[in-house]
Chain A
Amino acid sequence: MPDDAVLRTVALTKVYADFWGRPRVKALDRLDLDVRPGEVFGLLGPNGSGKSTTIKLLLGLIRASAGDAFVFGRDPGDRSVKRRIGYLPEETYLHRFLDAEETLRFYARLFALDRATTARRVGELIELVGLGHARKRRLGEYSKGMARRLGLAQALINDPDLVILDEPTSGLDPIGSAEVKDLIVALKRRGKTVLLCSHLLADVEDVCDRLAILHQGVLRSIGRVDELLVASDRHVVELTSPTPEVLAAVRAAAGASLVGTSHPRERLESHFRRIVAAASPPSEPRP
């Protein structure tokens, strides 16, 4: 694994225990993962696959049962690490009695940003997420989509080097979702590293460089999106203006009009379904 990985997990395991310390659920099983600087990494998996557990371990919110996690080469609980992370949880957990500006100022204070930087970042981010018209409105009066936009703004308040986005488009309309995807691409262009969890496979396919698929706490698939989705056991033959005769000939063997061949690319959704189906136990036969 590369030493310059922004995120690295080595045999990372998490077992949730009950009140008496007895093991209850193995949420994550020996996960090996690395996320490199400047890439957009997708973390996929059905509900209960261990995605959120992985994120919480990487944020130092829970403790690993075994294995190690490193963020910027350090322990995830290290404050110097947390200063460089922006995090958007899967639901927008913000204080409803604050307005947008107060919320962002509060989080800016947690990063010890000075007044001038805070004022500048708050103004920029409120405009970026399109909440200029509601900046003084209490969050209790926000729609789910507006709260989501503000959640995204708070994740960027410290201009983080690593942005962890858990279902960032949840609750957003199609325009909002497209804006978030644009934002992720813009972050990548600025050299930021993004860890993206999403159920919207098309979104992941559009913006991610690499992805990993978790199922039942186990890493089932990891690699570049291009590599994972290519069907290496099949070929596509692409021709320009083929005549019926040429097409007939191609059916027999490739001819002079052949401009190239490649493996066909499946959609991420079908890849995801195949991985999950292969990892799932077979269903009971019906009587």
Chain B
Amino acid sequence: MRWTVTGALAVAQLTAREALRGRLWLPVVGAALIMAVVALRLDGVDAEARRKLSVALVVGSAGFIAHLLAVLVAAQGVRRDLEGRMALLLFAKPLPRFGYLLGRWLGGMAAVGAALAALAGIGLGIIAWRSDLPVSRSAIPADAWWRLTAAGAAEPIAAGQDLVQVSGAAGNGVRLRFGAMPDGDGEILLRAAVLGTEAAPVTQCAVRIDALDASGGARPLALAAGSPYGQASGDRPGVAVLRDHGEERRELDTDYVRVRVDAAARAADGSLTIRVTRLDSAAALRFAVADGALIAVESGGFALNLARATLAMLAAAAPLVAWTLVCACVSNLGVALLGGLTLLFTGSALPVLAETLAHEEAAAPLRRIFSVLSWIVPDFDRHHLAARLAATRAVEWAAVGDAALYYGAYAALFLGLAWWALATREVA
């Protein structure tokens, strides 16, 4: 163990030096320049769009360049040692082969981390230069949902059910409960798909939103100032208009009705129960259980959220470095680069592939192949970091932890494979 750690640290330092002196920082400089030039060209759009584009540009570019760098650093280091026969010297020393691989992996991660930190820092400056730094908010989903009939009967929504749809005569709706509201005043965010019929298409539906107390008493809730849509219908208290913004749009600032909740609306245990009642019989409402109703709370400054996103991106580089090490141990530089990039692009395309297969109702064998693929290949867009930050949604520590576990498991598996490949290889 001691030899593994000692050797790994020495090789990690060697890898970081190699990346620095091999001018692998040039792509980072190039990406920073491209970010600055593109940001300069964002004058033709309004401030809101400019902010979103700047954030998406910075986070997207940083992630892409860092992941490319991960493949380059890992492939180049190992292939240089094997093809340049430095491995003869290295493995004649008391350096365990796993220690060597661990060092290459750690050094690659250090290089990627440095690149990400540099790009995030430069990107933060670019965003601040082109627009105000946005305030990121965490969104907490409702704990429990019920479908309500017009007569007031409540049917709980089973766990695992993704959507809740209410239609038919007006007066029915949904009830939902948030287990723990944050202290002080807050906001509830609501969004739903508004469905009509082909004969009578509709895009909006009036609803009444009430807070319910323990005895079942209802108190109408008012819209928050600045709620982007859902203006109160006439002077009826608690009445808002839900408008259809399309299934894909989920930005907290623009695609949700924002309802103000004061401390008095909360129950003694800190929970909050609200009721949404349909007022239009012509429109059906379809809520997504995962994010149809959210509590939005401010979650640190943008810089902190960007830092957390950077950590999650760094975690995503872990399996890339490890997989490229596998490829570098079994074949030449070209194959190692191709292998690493294939994993990167396949893993980045997984969500699109899944959507396409679902949309096209693909044949069973194809779906099975995709199912296997989604197990083998890590999803590099698992946390939608660029989209989240651009939509002012926070990147919580939980996401960083999830990224570390998810990508860490793949990295451990790939490192094991790389070790097997190197341990069985003769250094001739």
Contacts and interface: CB of A to CB of B under 8 A. Distances in A.
20 contacts: A59-B91, A61-B92, A61-B428, A62-B426, A62-B428, A79-B96, A80-B94, A82-B92, A82-B94, A83-B94, A89-B85, A89-B88, A91-B85, A94-B89, A97-B18, A102-B17, A106-B10, A106-B13, A109-B9, A112-B3
A106 B95 CA distance: 12
Contacts of A94: 86, 89
A228 interface: no
A56 B427 contact: yes
B14 interface: yes
Interface string B126-146: 000000000000000000000
B224 interface: no
A95 B22 CA distance: 11
A93 B89 contact: yes
B123 interface: no
Contacts of A97: 17-18, 21-22
A110 interface: yes
A185 B325 CA distance: 43
A147 B59 CA distance: 44
Interface in A57-77: 59-63
B93 interface: yes
Interface of A: 16, 56, 59-63, 79-80, 82-83, 85, 87, 89, 91, 93-95, 97-98, 102, 106-107, 109-112, 154
B88 A95 contact: no
Interface centre among B3, B14, B88 (most CB of A within 10 A): B88
B14 A85 contact: no
B249 to A, nearest CB: 49
B188 to A, nearest CB: 58
Interface string B77-105: 00000001110111111111000000000
Contact of B6 (A63, A80, A87, A110): A110
B80 to A, nearest CB: 8
Interface in B1-35: 2-3, 6-7, 9-10, 13-14, 17-18, 21-22
Interface centre among B2, B6, B92, B95 (most CB of A within 10 A): B92
Given A61-B428, A97-B21, A110 B95 contact: yes
Interface residues of B, number: 27
Given A82-B92, A98-B17, A93 B22 contact: no
A189 to B, nearest CB: 25
A114 B92 CA distance: 20
B86 A93 contact: yes
A111 B94 contact: yes
Given A89-B85, A109-B10, 7 more contacts: A16-B428, A59-B91, A79-B3, A79-B94, A79-B96, A102-B17, A110-B95
A61 B427 CA distance: 5
Contacts, number: 73
B14 A95 contact: yes
What DSSP secondary structure best describes chain B's contact surface?
Answer: helix
A98 B92 CA distance: 19
Contacts of A87: 89, 92
Contact of B427 (A16, A62, A83): A62
B426 A110 contact: no
Contact of A95 (B2, B18, B95, B427): B18
B84 A93 contact: yes
A85 B18 contact: no
A111 B426 CA distance: 22
Nearest to A113: B6
Nearest to B6: A112
Contact of B94 (A16, A89, A110): A110
Nearest to A52: B428
A109 B428 CA distance: 24
Interface string B144-173: 000000000000000000000000000000
Contacts of B426: 61-63
Contacts of A16: 428
Given A62-B426, A62-B427, A110-B95, A95 B86 contact: yes
A59 B426 CA distance: 12
A5 B212 CA distance: 89
Interface string B393-428: 000000000000000000000000000000000111
Nearest to B18: A97
Contacts of A62: 426-428
A85 B95 CA distance: 13
Nearest to A89: B88
A46 B127 CA distance: 67
